[in-house]
Amino acid sequence: MGKKKNYGFDTKALHSGHNPKENFGSPLPSIHQTLAYCFESPEQAARIFAGEEEGFVYSRINNPTVDAFEKRMAALEGGEAALATSSGMAAIFLTAVHLAQNGGNIVASDKLYGGTYNLFNVRLPSFGVAVKFVNDYQNLAAFEKAIDEKTKFIFIETPANPALNVLDIGMVSEIAKKEGIPLVVDATLATPALQKTIDLGADIVIHSASKFICGNGSSLGGVIVGKKKLIDEMRQGLYRDTGPALNPFNAWLFLLGLETLSIRMERHSKNTLIAALLLQNHPKVLKVNYPFLPNGSDYVTAKKQMSGGGALLSFEIAGALKSGKKFIKSLKLASHLANLGDSRTLAIHPASTTHGQVPKEERLKIGITDGLVRMSVGLENIEDILDDILQALEKI
């Protein structure tokens, strides 16, 4: 990529973080399947170890392929730097423990991915890190009230999995700024293609790269984007000392995934809105959750901060658990599995699976009812996706 400063998103997705001239002319980044890197001299080694010179040391700390992925992610998010991890959960755990260490607590919206909810509700408290959940996510005062002098950051996920709540990033960031603490946003469902999370006010953005960034359900990984100083501290701290590094092959697959991210998200958003409208008008469906449905409670916020609704929707079928399971069982095209963000259409029943670890009372409080079905609408022909949904609804 040449000198021009203001390249567009799609151009950066294809070129950022990699210079063919420094890589034998290869337009694609190479897979550096190596663990340690030769130093030019003992003096240079000492400088790199002391952090006075940039350089590769050992793949638990950095790796050229992973570095290309990190630089491309930072460019796409409009952040200063990025740190790639072995999974999305590793990214969330690392960020949370780094920021809350030495007696801090966390204020988090309770509309969270099941794994994150369990990490915050069970694991972190067992290490002495308290997490205060905010249930009323549309209410600014609820966040403000939860913050005390030991609160180290605010954590939100938007859109939130699986009820598709959309949290107002700008609004929450105002409180964070007022309190002088960072706002951390899990933007996995939106991706940088649909939501400019840092521009909207986030200090740190986290993605499970396993989802849309990968795009085909093949590989696990995560990424943290933020200020260079913070990313450097994490890299030379917990990241180096606990070992959740991303492997170079997965980083390479994610670089390929990023090349087509924005056109995939565009098609996902188009297909999913059509499916959401079909479901909304179906007599057996009680309620549909999708950010871009005009009668949804978060529609105004979604339109303000996202350029498309994304691939995930969820809906409530009449007949609760029995109907939910019957619907899943009757699908012929959609895969029944616990992933999302694949180019294929996927479906799951969250209450008995992804949020199965969450006690029923808490589960209902965060909006995951017995009859809720979650679909990640894929890139198949829309007629085929709609036919599959309709024939499965007919079986109920």
Ligand X SMILES: *Cc1c(COP(=O)(O)O)cnc(C)c1O
Interface residues toward ligand X, by CB under 6 A: 87-89, 113, 115-116, 157, 161, 186, 188-189, 208, 210-211, 220, 222, 340
To ligand X, the closest distance from the beta carbon of 316 in angstroms equals 20
Rounded to whole angstroms, what are the CA distances from 224 to 18, 55, 90, 333? 19, 20, 10, 34
Residue (79 or 350) nearer to ligand X, CB:
350
Q: Could you give the CA distance from residue 173 to residue 179 in angstroms, rounded to a whole number?
A: 10
Nearer to ligand X, 11 or 352 (CB): 352
DSSP string covering 121-132: IIIHHHTT--EE
The nearest distance, CB 228 to ligand X, in angstroms, is 24
Q: Is 85 helix (H, G, I), strand (E, B) or coil?
A: strand
Write down the least CB distance from residue 52 to ligand X, Å. Answer: 34
**DSSP state, residue 235:** I
The answer to whether residues 212 and 246 touch, using CB atoms and an 8 Å cutoff, is no
In the complex, least distance from residue 304 CB atom to ligand X, rounded to whole angstroms: 20
Nearest to 377 by CA among 294, 297, 276, 288: 276
Phi and psi at 217, nearest 5°, equal: 70, 30
If the CB atoms of residues 185 and 393 are measured against ligand X, the closer one turns out to be 185
Cα gap 2→103, rounded to integer Å: 47
Q: 182 vs 392, which CB is nearer to ligand X? A: 182
Name the 3-class secondary structure at 202.
coil
Beta-bridged to residue 153, according to DSSP, are 106
Coil, helix or strand for 222? strand
Cα–chain-centroid distance for residue 26?
Answer: 30
Angle, CA of 194, 85 and 170, to the nearest 5°? 35
Q: Are 95 and 124 in contact, with CB atoms under 8 Å apart?
A: no
What is the nearest approach in angstroms of ligand X to the Cβ of residue 364? 20
User: To the nearest whole angstrom, how small is the minimum distance from the Cβ of residue 91 to ligand X?
Assistant: 8
Q: Which is nearer to ligand X, 116 or 197 (CB)?
A: 116
Q: How far is the CB of 102 from ligand X (least distance, A)?
A: 25
CB of 20 to ligand X, least distance (A): 30
Cβ contact 202:78 at 8 Å = no
Torsion sign across C-alpha atoms 63, 68, 71, 72:
negative
**Cα angle vertex 321, ends 286, 189, to 5°?**
65
Among all residues, whose Cβ is closest to ligand X? 88
Token output for 377:
């609408």
Nearer to ligand X, 99 or 285 (CB): 99
The distance of closest approach from Cβ of residue 100 to ligand X in the complex, given in angstroms and rounded to an integer, is 18
146 vs 163 by CB, closer to ligand X? 163
Nearest residue to 293 (alpha-carbon basis) of 281, 171, 190: 281
Measured from the CB atom, the residue of 175 and 185 that comes closer to ligand X is 185
Between residues 56 and 341, which has the closer beta carbon with respect to ligand X? 341
